[in-house]
């Protein structure tokens, strides 16, 4: 078994079926890969979808892990995998036919520990003009929009910053994932958002600081489903709010506690640091280009420029609110602070926080 594909999922049987069917067209032989579906407590037809494909996908296995959190599914997949090369994918992707073969070939270089490719948007409906502008190429001809987990770094295979390998299309050597102590919390339901962490960004940071090699291979690419309800400013602001929570989590771990600095001052400072991260810079950069009037295709369209300027402000407010919320929650709950400071999350059970919202 050369590769283990790990797909955590929850209540998305319709898109999961498309993802799994895209694996039937892979140029890599089915004898060389397995598919592990980890069900994070679905109440829809997820199990039936997996069961219906067993006749065509030779090495597909299903596991139920009802404890909430994307990291729970990711870790279960790592534990159950038969291969030492782990391929993580979201349940709403559709893979290029060359996806797995390109990943397997990329790992022939023993220095490579992480592999990714393009994550191209598959829009449910025609995107609004402001979103198309944000998905426009930067000065290097690359397109990065972290809020939708889509990225296109061109058609050349090359070493890449591991932060530019997104979790919906992330392959990694198991030994490196174990050395990084696994993933941090991610993918929490909104009612449990205080338990959110920095997800695969922690693993990317470990790969980078350890001097390991991450590789971008355009043949190892996928399409990422973007439904209509994600093409709204409300969705972008919710993502910004959640990014504030993630950055608060990271700041507390780095400081090994909640410092004395005020929540307001900390969150504003951290917001500007966050502008350089993959999750915000794509939106901020595109909005800045547009509001400066340097994008030719919107010349004279004041309404679009005004909307982009307004979105910049809304994103900043949402980010600050998320950061402040998390800081306050951690200050008020020793149990939540202990959760944030856990050395690893292989035991993904959540603590009980009485009275926490």
pLDDT in tens, 225-266: 999 999 999 999 999 999 999 999 999 999 999 975 544 444
Work out the percent of the chain whose per-residue pLDDT is above 90.
Answer: 80
- Are 173 and 53 found together in one domain? yes
The number of domains in the chain is 2
Q: What is the pLDDT of residue 259?
A: 75
Which CATH number fits the domain that encloses residue 36? 3.90.550.10
Model-level pTM greater than 0.85?
A: yes
- pLDDT tens string 333-347: 999 999 999 999 999
Containing domain of residue 257, as a range?
A: 232-340
- Are 216 and 257 found together in one domain? no
Taking each helix axis as running N to C, give the angle between helix 233-255 and helix 302-332, from 0 to 180 degrees, rounded to the nearest 10. 40
Question: Mean of the per-residue pLDDT values for the chain?
Answer: 89
- Are 104 and 225 found together in one domain? yes
Q: What is the pLDDT of residue 260?
A: 58
Confidence class for position 267, pLDDT limits 50, 70, 90: very low
- pLDDT tens string 146-196: 999 999 999 999 999 999 999 999 999 999 999 999 999 999 998 999 999
- pLDDT tens string 280-303: 434 334 333 322 333 323 333 457
Q: What is the pLDDT of residue 261?
A: 55
The verdict on residue 84 lying in a domain is: yes
Q: What is the pLDDT of residue 15?
A: 97
């Amino acid at each position: 078994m050369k590769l283990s594909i790990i797909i955590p999922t929850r209540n998305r049987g319709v898109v999961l079926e498309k993802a799994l069917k895209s694996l039937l067209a892979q140029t890599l032989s089915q004898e060389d890969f397995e598919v592990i579906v980890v069900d994070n407590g679905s109440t829809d037809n997820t199990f039936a979808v997996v069961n219906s494909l067993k006749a065509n996908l030779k090495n597909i296995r299903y596991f139920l892990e009802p404890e909430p959190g994307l990291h729970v599914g990711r870790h279960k997949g790592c534990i159950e995998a038969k291969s030492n090369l782990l391929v993580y994918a979201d349940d709403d992707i559709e893979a290029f036919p060359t996806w797995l073969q390109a990943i397997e070939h990329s790992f022939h270089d023993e220095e490579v520990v992480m592999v990714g490719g393009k994550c191209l948007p598959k829009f449910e409906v025609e995107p609004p003009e402001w979103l198309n502008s944000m998905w426009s190429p930067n000065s290097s001809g690359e397109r990065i929009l972290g809020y939708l987990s889509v990225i296109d770094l061109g058609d050349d295979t090359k070493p890449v910053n591991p932060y530019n390998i997104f979790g919906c299309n992330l392959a990694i050597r198991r030994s490196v994932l174990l050395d990084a102590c696994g993933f941090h919390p991610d993918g929490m339901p909104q009612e449990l958002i205080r338990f959110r962490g920095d997800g695969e960004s922690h693993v990317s940071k470990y790969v980078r600081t350890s001097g390991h090699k991450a590789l971008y291979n355009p043949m190892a690419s996928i399409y990422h489903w973007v439904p209509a309800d994600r093409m709204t400013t409300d969705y972008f602001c919710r993502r910004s709010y959640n990014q504030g929570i993630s950055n608060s989590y990271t700041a507390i771990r780095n400081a090994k506690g909640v410092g004395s600095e005020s929540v307001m001052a900390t969150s504003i400072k951290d917001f500007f640091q966050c502008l350089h991260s993959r999750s915000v810079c794509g939106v901020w950069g595109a909005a800045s280009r547009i509001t400066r009037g340097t994008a030719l295709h919107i010349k004279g369209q004041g309404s679009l420029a005004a909307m982009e300027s307004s979105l910049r402000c809304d994103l900043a407010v949402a980010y600050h609110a998320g950061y402040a919320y998390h800081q306050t929650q951690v200050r008020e709950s020793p149990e939540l602070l202990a959760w944030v400071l856990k050395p690893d999350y292989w035991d993904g059970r959540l603590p009980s926080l009485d009275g926490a919202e």
